[in-house]
């Protein structure tokens, strides 16, 4: 569920991803844990790419205004491994 939520959060954004997963969660026995996993995954997934969160774009624009260029690729060099490690740790913690 962690991976699916993170993927959906980056494809359709985190709020629509959570709404799309709601019917699935309602059919699960342990809904509380499922919602915790979804909350963790959809939140941390925003760090994966530069366009994963509006906050990322705001910071990149502010950096650009001071002469620092944060490219999509440069962001991903840090964002992908940090996000994957965070998601793995979060999934482990909630299991």
Which residue has 């709020």 as its token pair?
Answer: 15
Specify the pLDDT at position 70. Answer: 94
Closest-CA residue to 6 (of 95, 90, 93)? 90
What pLDDT was estimated at residue 39?
96
**Average pLDDT per run of 10 along the chain, which is 95 residues long?**
94 92 95 96 94 92 95 95 97 95
pLDDT value at residue 16:
93
What is residue 23's predicted lDDT score, i.e. its pLDDT?
95
Q: How many domains does the chain have?
A: 1
36: containing domain: 2-94
What pLDDT shows up at residue 9? 93
Q: With 0.75 as the threshold, say if the pTM is over it.
A: yes
Contacts of 68 by beta carbon, 8 Å cutoff, 6+ apart: none
């Amino acid at each position: 569920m962690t991976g699916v939520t993170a993927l959906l959060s980056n494809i359709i954004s985190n709020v629509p991803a959570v709404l799309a997963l709601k019917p699935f969660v309602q059919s699960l026995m342990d809904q509380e844990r499922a919602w915790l996993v979804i909350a963790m995954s959809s939140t941390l997934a925003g760090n994966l790419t530069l366009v994963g969160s509006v906050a990322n774009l705001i910071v990149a624009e502010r950096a650009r205004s001071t002469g620092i260029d944060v490219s999509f690729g440069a962001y991903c060099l840090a964002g992908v491994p940090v996000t994957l490690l965070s998601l793995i740790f979060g999934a482990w913690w909630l299991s």
